[in-house]
Amino acid sequence: MLSASFSATLRVRLADRPGAFADLARAVADAAGSLDAIDLVRVEGGSKIRDVTVLAQDAEHLQRIVDAVRALPGIEVEHVSDRTFLMHLGGKIQVVGKTPLRTRDDLSMAYTPGVARISEAIAADPQSVWNLTIKGNTVAVVSDGTAVLGLGDIGPEAALPVMEGKALLFKEFADIDAFPLCLATKEPDEIVATVTAVAPVFGGINLEDISAPRCFEVEARLREALDIPVFHDDQHGTAVVVLAALVNALRVVGKRLEDVKIVVTGVGAAGTAATRILQAAGAQRVVGCDRRGALYAGRPDLVGVKLAFAAETNPEREEGPPDDVLAGADVFLGLSRPGAVTVEGIRSMADGAIVLAMANPTPEVRPEELAGFAAVIATGRSDYPNQINNVLAFPGIFRGALDVRATEITEEMKLAAAHAIAAVVAPEELGPEYIVPSVFNRDVVPAVASAVAEAAERGGVARRRREPVVAD
């Protein structure tokens, strides 16, 4: 796939003769690249200076395209700007004032002496911190950098661009002020202590890209310690969007969650959370698989989280590799890695098979290989139909939680979020290639936020009722 994320803008000097630009366009095409924006910068002597943006499919491909252009006679490449790197110079977010600070009066209200009155008011009534500070709309995006995207344990500094990106998504999709905190420790005790210490500033904590099994302990202890929502997005955000997709996929094939057999590959953070929410929604027959095959009660090597998982799943104690247990299954949910199952395995599934192959960027099985025998196929990618992306869930979930000042995010709130996402796709729109709304669908966040806020109120974890939302 050609992608803006692997694109560069080349400043080129072309001799002012017929065919000069055609040569460049041909070279890009021959290198299997694509031309995007083309701007004329200036005309200088006998040359034209242009900015030409090219799209590639990966970094190595991008380099090949640039090299091909450089090799052309009469065309000089003056400068290559990688668009993704350019966008990241100086970071992607900033902290700005909501109030001007131009005069002595402004200063005397926003800072001393006026601010002392606000501090005194909060000291007298601690709950007023929700009204009189940023707390009520602010979320910490916390990572220790141990499980960043598919890159693994790359450390807190290298995790920061991802957490900034997350903060950007929070703002753009849900008008939430999120700030990244990348921690220079991997010790659960220290992570818990640090987040607990900074919690007064925040209305919620979004944990991100913390590796299993530490992520389970960290989240559980923080939920216990804090009176604000703590939400590990890799677990629960993924679980919510998976359930949303599956609810609609089952409608497409005319099956019920209570009846279907679901095979899950990957029982890390995402796999365990997805299994839990599917069971909470009614699923009876889930079989989880790790690299050693199906998890079943009694499998001798299991300890900890996996031991508990095996006890609560796979009622028929099926054994064997994923391909084996896929035989006759209705749903395949891949939260693992490319190649975790084979095309033959998928082919052995029941009629009306649903395949949610979420490994990123390369799915467990390639959708084009399943044509004809899988009824519904979804991935995490934007270049296939049915992109299942956490962006559908976390902005609305936190928006709803903050709106009612929730003390936690309960299982009911997550279920409500999943059903709200699913419901954005109207019955008449629903089809094999449209089971989840686009991440840019503006109906998603308000729908999810409302459903989550109502579920919080019903569940008794709301500090206040939701204020009527005024449409823009």
Query: Which candidate, 334, 362, 361, 328, places its Cα nearest to that of 347?
Result: 328
Considering only residues 388 through 417, tell me which ones interact with a second copy, judged by CB under 8 A. Answer: 391
- For 266, left (φ over 0), alpha (ψ -120 to 50), or beta? left
Considering only residues 194 through 213, tell me which ones interact with a second copy, judged by CB under 8 A. Answer: 194, 196-201
The least CB distance from residue 37 to a second copy, in Å, is 11
Write out the two tokens for 392: 């559908």
Write out the two tokens for 420: 């709200």
Write out the two tokens for 60: 């190595």
Tell me which DSSP letter residue 55 carries.
E
Identify the active-site residue in 48, 92, 98, 166: 166
Q: Which is nearer to a second copy, 112 or 426 (CB)?
A: 112
Assess 43 for contact with a second copy (CB under 8 A): no
Burial 397-423 (b: 16+ CB within 10 A, else e): bbbbbbbbbbbbbbebbbbbbbbbbbb
Assess 470 for contact with a second copy (CB under 8 A): no
Q: Looking up tokens 């299997």, which residue turns up?
A: 32
- φ, ψ of residue 448 to 5 degrees: the values are -65, -45
Opening angle at CA 411, ends 405 and 414, nearest 5: 75
Assess 469 for contact with a second copy (CB under 8 A): no
Assess 184 for contact with a second copy (CB under 8 A): yes
Q: Which is nearer to a second copy, 22 or 95 (CB)?
A: 95
The least CB distance from residue 277 to a second copy, in Å, is 22
Assess 255 for contact with a second copy (CB under 8 A): no
The least CB distance from residue 134 to a second copy, in Å, is 3
| Distance, CA of 261 to CA of 248 (rounded, Å) | 16
Assess 4 for contact with a second copy (CB under 8 A): yes
Size of the site for a second copy (CB under 8 A): 100
Assess 2 for contact with a second copy (CB under 8 A): no
Active site residue 166: yes
The least CB distance from residue 144 to a second copy, in Å, is 9
The least CB distance from residue 164 to a second copy, in Å, is 6
- φ, ψ of residue 430 to 5 degrees: the values are -60, 140
Q: Which is nearer to a second copy, 64 or 347 (CB)?
A: 64
The least CB distance from residue 218 to a second copy, in Å, is 13
Interface stretch with a second copy, choices 39-47, 83-91, 322-330, 369-377 (CB under 8 A): 83-91
Considering only residues 140 through 159, tell me which ones interact with a second copy, judged by CB under 8 A. Answer: 148-151, 154-159
Considering only residues 211 through 230, tell me which ones interact with a second copy, judged by CB under 8 A. Answer: none
- φ, ψ of residue 384 to 5 degrees: the values are -120, 160
Interface stretch with a second copy, choices 26-34, 188-196, 328-336, 412-420 (CB under 8 A): 188-196
Q: Which is nearer to a second copy, 101 or 311 (CB)?
A: 101
- Choose which of 80, 168, 327, 423 interacts with a second copy (CB under 8 A): 168
Q: Fill in the per-residue mask, 425 to 454: x = in contact with a second copy (CB under 8 A), - = not in contact.
A: --------------xx--------------
Amino acid 69 reads V
Q: Which is nearer to a second copy, 136 or 266 (CB)?
A: 136
Considering only residues 315 through 374, tell me which ones interact with a second copy, judged by CB under 8 A. Answer: 360-361
Q: Which is nearer to a second copy, 113 or 300 (CB)?
A: 113
Assess 134 for contact with a second copy (CB under 8 A): yes
Contact yes or no for 206/169 (Cβ under 8 A):
no
Amino acid 440 reads F
Assess 136 for contact with a second copy (CB under 8 A): yes
Q: Fill in the per-residue mask, 90 to 129: x = in contact with a second copy (CB under 8 A), - = not in contact.
A: xxxxxxxxxx-x-xxxxxxxxxxxxxxxxxxxxx--x--x
| Distance, CA of 127 to CA of 125 (rounded, Å) | 6
Assess 231 for contact with a second copy (CB under 8 A): no
Considering only residues 284 through 303, tell me which ones interact with a second copy, judged by CB under 8 A. Answer: none
The least CB distance from residue 187 to a second copy, in Å, is 9
Assess 133 for contact with a second copy (CB under 8 A): yes
The least CB distance from residue 410 to a second copy, in Å, is 24
Contact yes or no for 290/266 (Cβ under 8 A):
yes
Does 113 sit behind a cis peptide bond, omega within 30 degrees of 0 on the bond before it? Answer: yes
Sheet strands side by side (includes 204-207): 177-182, 138-143, 204-207, 230-232
Which residues have C-beta within 8 Å of that of residue 420, sequence separation ≥ 6?
396, 447, 448, 450, 451, 452
| Distance, CA of 240 to CA of 249 (rounded, Å) | 14
Which residues have C-beta within 8 Å of that of residue 460, sequence separation ≥ 6?
none
Dihedral sign computed on CA atoms, order 298, 302, 303, 306:
negative
Number of CB atoms found within 10 A of residue 167's CB:
22
Active site residue 434: no
The least CB distance from residue 439 to a second copy, in Å, is 7
Residue 409, helix vs strand vs coil: coil
| Distance, CA of 233 to CA of 204 (rounded, Å) | 12
Q: Which is nearer to a second copy, 302 or 358 (CB)?
A: 358
Number of CB atoms found within 10 A of residue 257's CB:
19
Active site (catalytic) residues:
111, 166
